[in-house]
Amino acid sequence: MHKGIEYAKALIRNVPDFPTPGILFKDITPMLADARALHIVLDAIAEDFIGQPVDAVVGIEARGFIFGGALAARLNAGFVPARKPGKLPTHADKVSYTTEYSTTELEIHKGSFKPGAQVLIVDDVLATGGTAKAAADLVRMQGAKVVGYAFVIELAFLEGRKKLTDARIESVITY
């Protein structure tokens, strides 16, 4: 592993039994608070998508917003938030999904993409893949195309990749 990535990885904190018993929560806040680590992680994701045209980055609430906004700026793309139910102020498309520790819904404002727009989906953690797949379903529902998925952390043993078969998947740190 690149020594910069090792540096960032060392700043991810494991919190046992959060938010529910049996879950080992990957707390990225120490990594976010470190200027060098944040820069390294954003550069790593941006580099993976050099040469891939991206019209919009979809960030998934809430930690996906942190990376999604910064990446959209680096890739010269727009940013579209995928939000938890009831947060968006006007008409939205909605899908239900399950994550490693909950069942919930995700929404994107209707008309968020130009027809055929190329979309990159970004989140902090890929666990079972339910969340990222829900975001992808919303993108497709609106006539846009998912061209990639980017995660800071992938929990490979949960096999979330198997749910995301339509585009390339890049993760910076894999467990």
- The interface mask with ligand AMP, positions 71-110, x = CB under 6 A, is ----------------------------xx----------
Residue among 2, 77, 14 at smallest CA distance from 41 = 2
Q: Is 36 a catalytic residue?
A: no
Nearer to ligand AMP by C-beta: 11 or 126? 126
Nearer to ligand AMP, 72 or 125 (CB): 125
Regarding 167 and contact with ligand AMP (CB under 6 A), the answer is no
**Is 123 in contact with 133 (CB distance < 8 Å)?**
no
CB-CB neighbours of 77 under 10 Å: 21
Q: Are strands 145-154 and 118-126 parallel, antiparallel or unpaired?
A: parallel
Here the contacts of 166-175 (C-beta below 8 Å, separation 24 or greater) are: 166/136, 167/136, 169/126, 170/45, 170/48, 170/49, 171/126, 172/5, 172/8, 172/41, 172/44, 172/45, 173/5, 173/8, 173/9, 173/12, 175/26
Identity of the residue, 63 or 109, whose beta carbon is nearer to ligand AMP in the bound complex: 63
Q: What is the DSSP letter of 88?
A: S
6 catalytic, yes or no? no
User: Choosing from 6, 13, 100, 140, which is the catalytic residue?
Assistant: 100
Judged by CB under 6 A, the chain residues 19 through 38 that form the site for ligand AMP are 23-26
Note whether 175 binds ligand AMP by CB under 6 A.
Answer: no
Q: Decide if residue 129 touches ligand AMP (CB under 6 A).
A: yes
Active-site annotation holder among 6, 47, 63, 83: 63
Contact between 66 and ligand AMP (CB under 6 A)? Answer: no
The number of angstroms, rounded, from the C-alpha of 159 to the middle of its chain's C-alpha atoms is 16
Q: Which one, of 152, 167, 155, lies nearest residue 32 by Cα? A: 152
Which is closer to ligand AMP, CB of 135 or CB of 144?
135
Binding footprint of ligand AMP on the chain (CB under 6 A): 23-26, 60, 63, 99-100, 123-131, 160
Active-site residue list? 63, 100
